[in-house]
Amino acid sequence: MILDLDLSSITITDRILHLPLLADSRNLCLPDNAIDAVITSPPYLTRIDYAMSTRPELLIMFDPKTLRTIRENTIGAPVIVDKYIKINSTWGKTCLQLLENVQKHGSKAATSYYLPNMLQYFRDIELSRREIIRVLKHNARAIIVVQSSYFKEHEIKLGDIYVEMGNNLGVKSEIVNREILRGHMAHVNTKSNQYKKGKIYFEDMVLLTK
Ligand SMILES: C[S@@+](CC[C@H](N)C(=O)[O-])C[C@H]1O[C@@H](n2cnc3c(N)ncnc32)[C@H](O)[C@@H]1O
Protein backbone atom coordinates (compact mmCIF):
# COMPACT_ATOMS: atom_id res chain seq x y z
CA MET A 1 0.00 0.00 0.00
CA ILE A 2 2.86 2.37 0.84
CA LEU A 3 4.32 1.63 -2.62
CA ASP A 4 0.92 2.33 -4.24
CA LEU A 5 0.73 5.68 -2.45
CA ASP A 6 4.28 6.52 -3.60
CA LEU A 7 3.32 5.68 -7.20
CA SER A 8 0.07 7.62 -7.05
CA SER A 9 -0.26 11.09 -8.44
CA ILE A 10 -1.46 12.54 -5.13
CA THR A 11 0.48 15.66 -4.29
CA ILE A 12 0.92 16.07 -0.60
CA THR A 13 1.48 19.61 0.47
CA ASP A 14 0.85 19.26 4.19
CA ARG A 15 2.92 17.26 6.62
CA ILE A 16 1.32 13.88 7.30
CA LEU A 17 1.27 12.58 10.85
CA HIS A 18 1.69 8.80 10.99
CA LEU A 19 0.39 7.60 14.31
CA PRO A 20 0.48 3.83 14.92
CA LEU A 21 -2.27 2.93 17.40
CA LEU A 22 -3.12 -0.32 19.13
CA ALA A 23 -6.89 -0.07 19.29
CA ASP A 24 -10.21 -1.73 18.67
CA SER A 25 -11.94 -0.15 15.67
CA ARG A 26 -15.22 -0.19 17.67
CA ASN A 27 -13.70 2.08 20.31
CA LEU A 28 -11.00 4.36 18.92
CA CYS A 29 -8.81 6.35 21.29
CA LEU A 30 -9.09 9.44 19.08
CA PRO A 31 -10.94 12.74 19.57
CA ASP A 32 -14.05 13.74 17.58
CA ASN A 33 -13.58 15.52 14.20
CA ALA A 34 -9.81 14.96 14.17
CA ILE A 35 -8.95 12.81 11.13
CA ASP A 36 -8.53 14.00 7.52
CA ALA A 37 -9.12 10.68 5.76
CA VAL A 38 -9.66 7.00 6.47
CA ILE A 39 -8.64 4.08 4.23
CA THR A 40 -9.63 0.72 5.61
CA SER A 41 -10.46 -2.85 4.74
CA PRO A 42 -12.48 -4.41 7.54
CA PRO A 43 -13.07 -8.16 7.88
CA TYR A 44 -15.62 -9.43 5.35
CA LEU A 45 -18.52 -11.70 6.22
CA THR A 46 -16.44 -14.81 5.47
CA ARG A 47 -15.65 -15.98 9.03
CA ILE A 48 -11.89 -15.72 8.50
CA ASP A 49 -10.24 -16.45 11.82
CA TYR A 50 -7.53 -13.75 11.86
CA ALA A 51 -6.45 -14.51 15.45
CA MET A 52 -6.00 -18.22 14.75
CA SER A 53 -4.25 -17.66 11.41
CA THR A 54 -1.66 -15.52 13.22
CA ARG A 55 -1.65 -17.70 16.38
CA PRO A 56 2.13 -18.45 16.39
CA GLU A 57 3.00 -14.74 16.17
CA LEU A 58 0.41 -13.76 18.80
CA LEU A 59 1.63 -16.47 21.21
CA ILE A 60 5.15 -15.04 21.03
CA MET A 61 3.76 -11.72 22.30
CA PHE A 62 0.84 -12.79 24.51
CA ASP A 63 -0.33 -15.62 26.78
CA PRO A 64 -3.11 -18.00 25.59
CA LYS A 65 -5.75 -16.15 27.65
CA THR A 66 -4.96 -12.88 25.85
CA LEU A 67 -5.03 -14.70 22.50
CA ARG A 68 -8.55 -15.87 23.35
CA THR A 69 -9.58 -12.30 24.24
CA ILE A 70 -8.14 -11.01 20.93
CA ARG A 71 -10.04 -13.73 19.05
CA GLU A 72 -13.31 -12.91 20.79
CA ASN A 73 -12.87 -9.23 19.92
CA THR A 74 -11.94 -9.83 16.28
CA ILE A 75 -14.78 -8.70 14.04
CA GLY A 76 -16.20 -11.51 11.93
CA ALA A 77 -14.40 -14.28 13.85
CA PRO A 78 -16.22 -17.64 13.79
CA VAL A 79 -16.92 -17.55 17.54
CA ILE A 80 -20.25 -16.55 19.07
CA VAL A 81 -19.58 -14.19 21.98
CA ASP A 82 -23.01 -12.55 22.32
CA LYS A 83 -26.16 -14.57 21.59
CA TYR A 84 -28.58 -11.76 22.46
CA ILE A 85 -28.05 -9.23 19.65
CA LYS A 86 -31.24 -7.91 18.04
CA ILE A 87 -31.69 -7.00 14.37
CA ASN A 88 -31.28 -3.24 13.88
CA SER A 89 -33.01 -1.39 11.03
CA THR A 90 -29.98 0.97 10.79
CA TRP A 91 -28.20 -1.87 8.98
CA GLY A 92 -30.40 -1.27 5.92
CA LYS A 93 -32.85 -3.24 3.77
CA THR A 94 -30.27 -5.43 1.96
CA CYS A 95 -28.88 -6.56 5.31
CA LEU A 96 -32.34 -7.16 6.79
CA GLN A 97 -33.32 -9.22 3.71
CA LEU A 98 -30.15 -11.31 4.08
CA LEU A 99 -30.87 -11.96 7.77
CA GLU A 100 -34.44 -12.96 6.92
CA ASN A 101 -33.13 -15.38 4.26
CA VAL A 102 -30.77 -16.93 6.83
CA GLN A 103 -33.55 -17.15 9.43
CA LYS A 104 -35.82 -18.95 6.95
CA HIS A 105 -33.12 -21.21 5.51
CA GLY A 106 -33.80 -24.88 6.11
CA SER A 107 -30.19 -25.89 6.77
CA LYS A 108 -29.19 -27.20 10.19
CA ALA A 109 -26.82 -24.50 11.41
CA ALA A 110 -28.57 -21.47 9.86
CA THR A 111 -30.41 -20.26 12.95
CA SER A 112 -28.20 -21.83 15.62
CA TYR A 113 -24.87 -20.58 14.30
CA TYR A 114 -24.88 -18.46 11.11
CA LEU A 115 -27.59 -16.03 12.24
CA PRO A 116 -25.97 -15.13 15.62
CA ASN A 117 -22.59 -14.92 13.86
CA MET A 118 -24.01 -12.44 11.32
CA LEU A 119 -25.83 -10.40 13.99
CA GLN A 120 -22.53 -10.08 15.84
CA TYR A 121 -20.78 -9.03 12.61
CA PHE A 122 -23.28 -6.32 11.69
CA ARG A 123 -23.47 -4.99 15.28
CA ASP A 124 -19.63 -4.69 15.30
CA ILE A 125 -19.51 -3.13 11.83
CA GLU A 126 -22.11 -0.55 12.88
CA LEU A 127 -20.00 0.33 15.95
CA SER A 128 -16.87 0.67 13.78
CA ARG A 129 -18.71 2.84 11.20
CA ARG A 130 -19.94 5.10 14.00
CA GLU A 131 -16.36 5.48 15.23
CA ILE A 132 -15.05 6.32 11.75
CA ILE A 133 -17.78 8.94 11.36
CA ARG A 134 -17.09 10.36 14.85
CA VAL A 135 -13.33 10.83 14.33
CA LEU A 136 -13.50 12.17 10.74
CA LYS A 137 -13.39 15.93 10.24
CA HIS A 138 -16.44 17.53 8.63
CA ASN A 139 -16.45 17.02 4.82
CA ALA A 140 -13.64 14.45 5.20
CA ARG A 141 -13.87 11.10 3.44
CA ALA A 142 -13.38 7.43 4.21
CA ILE A 143 -12.69 4.66 1.71
CA ILE A 144 -13.77 1.21 2.79
CA VAL A 145 -12.81 -1.82 0.70
CA VAL A 146 -15.09 -4.84 1.08
CA GLN A 147 -15.82 -8.06 -0.77
CA SER A 148 -19.10 -9.81 -1.38
CA SER A 149 -19.61 -13.45 -0.40
CA TYR A 150 -22.39 -16.02 -0.15
CA PHE A 151 -24.44 -17.72 2.53
CA LYS A 152 -25.34 -20.97 0.75
CA GLU A 153 -27.23 -19.72 -2.38
CA HIS A 154 -27.78 -16.17 -1.03
CA GLU A 155 -25.41 -13.45 -2.15
CA ILE A 156 -24.08 -11.22 0.64
CA LYS A 157 -23.82 -7.83 -1.09
CA LEU A 158 -21.50 -6.34 1.49
CA GLY A 159 -20.73 -3.18 -0.52
CA ASP A 160 -24.44 -2.36 -0.82
CA ILE A 161 -24.95 -3.08 2.88
CA TYR A 162 -22.12 -0.68 3.81
CA VAL A 163 -23.66 2.02 1.58
CA GLU A 164 -27.13 1.64 3.13
CA MET A 165 -25.72 1.53 6.67
CA GLY A 166 -23.60 4.65 6.03
CA ASN A 167 -26.59 6.55 4.61
CA ASN A 168 -28.70 5.50 7.61
CA LEU A 169 -25.94 6.77 9.92
CA GLY A 170 -26.18 10.18 8.24
CA VAL A 171 -23.15 10.22 5.95
CA LYS A 172 -23.26 10.26 2.15
CA SER A 173 -22.23 6.78 1.00
CA GLU A 174 -21.69 5.32 -2.47
CA ILE A 175 -19.80 2.56 -4.29
CA VAL A 176 -17.15 4.33 -6.37
CA ASN A 177 -15.43 1.26 -7.80
CA ARG A 178 -16.50 -2.35 -8.31
CA GLU A 179 -14.34 -5.16 -9.63
CA ILE A 180 -15.13 -8.80 -10.26
CA LEU A 181 -12.75 -11.06 -8.37
CA ARG A 182 -11.68 -13.58 -10.97
CA GLY A 183 -9.16 -15.48 -8.86
CA HIS A 184 -11.45 -15.95 -5.82
CA MET A 185 -10.75 -19.26 -4.02
CA ALA A 186 -14.46 -20.11 -3.99
CA HIS A 187 -14.32 -20.36 -7.79
CA VAL A 188 -12.20 -23.50 -7.40
CA ASN A 189 -13.97 -24.79 -4.28
CA THR A 190 -16.63 -27.21 -5.56
CA LYS A 191 -18.18 -27.55 -2.07
CA SER A 192 -18.98 -23.82 -1.95
CA ASN A 193 -20.72 -24.11 -5.34
CA GLN A 194 -23.12 -26.86 -4.29
CA TYR A 195 -25.91 -24.36 -3.47
CA LYS A 196 -25.49 -22.12 -6.52
CA LYS A 197 -23.38 -22.51 -9.64
CA GLY A 198 -21.43 -19.68 -11.27
CA LYS A 199 -21.11 -17.50 -8.18
CA ILE A 200 -19.56 -14.11 -8.87
CA TYR A 201 -17.61 -12.23 -6.19
CA PHE A 202 -17.11 -8.47 -6.12
CA GLU A 203 -14.62 -6.16 -4.48
CA ASP A 204 -16.23 -2.77 -3.81
CA MET A 205 -14.72 0.54 -2.84
CA VAL A 206 -17.25 2.36 -0.66
CA LEU A 207 -16.80 6.10 -0.24
CA LEU A 208 -18.25 7.82 2.85
CA THR A 209 -18.33 11.61 3.03
CA LYS A 210 -19.07 13.15 6.43
C1 LIG B 1 -9.85 -7.85 5.58
S2 LIG B 1 -8.58 -7.76 6.77
C3 LIG B 1 -7.86 -6.43 6.14
C4 LIG B 1 -6.53 -6.73 5.71
C5 LIG B 1 -5.84 -5.49 5.19
N6 LIG B 1 -6.70 -4.79 4.26
C7 LIG B 1 -4.57 -5.92 4.51
O8 LIG B 1 -4.45 -5.74 3.32
O9 LIG B 1 -3.74 -6.50 5.18
C10 LIG B 1 -9.34 -7.21 8.26
C11 LIG B 1 -8.42 -6.86 9.39
O12 LIG B 1 -9.22 -6.30 10.46
C13 LIG B 1 -8.67 -6.71 11.70
N14 LIG B 1 -9.68 -6.58 12.78
C15 LIG B 1 -10.64 -7.46 13.13
N16 LIG B 1 -11.35 -7.00 14.17
C17 LIG B 1 -10.84 -5.79 14.49
C18 LIG B 1 -11.15 -4.83 15.50
N19 LIG B 1 -12.14 -5.02 16.38
N20 LIG B 1 -10.41 -3.69 15.53
C21 LIG B 1 -9.42 -3.48 14.64
N22 LIG B 1 -9.07 -4.36 13.66
C23 LIG B 1 -9.77 -5.50 13.60
C24 LIG B 1 -8.24 -8.15 11.43
O25 LIG B 1 -7.31 -8.60 12.38
C26 LIG B 1 -7.67 -8.03 10.02
O27 LIG B 1 -6.31 -7.72 10.07
pLDDT confidence of residue 107:
84
pLDDT confidence of residue 2:
66
The predicted-structure confidence for 134-189, as pLDDT tens digits, reads as follows 999 999 999 999 999 999 889 999 999 999 999 999 999 999 999 998 766 555 55
Mean pLDDT of 20-44: 94
The predicted-structure confidence for 78-104, as pLDDT tens digits, reads as follows 999 999 999 999 999 999 999 999 999
Backbone φ and ψ of 120, nearest 5°: -60, -45
Which protein residue has the closest C-alpha to ligand 1 atom 6? Answer: 41
Ligand 1 and 43: CB distance under 6 A? yes
Which residue out of 4, 45, 71, 74 has the highest number of ligand 1 atoms within 8 Å of its CB and is therefore the one to mutate?
74
Can you give the pTM of this predicted structure? 0.88
Q: Could you tell me which residue, 106 or 77, shows the higher pLDDT?
A: 77
Per-residue pLDDT at 191 exceeds 90: no
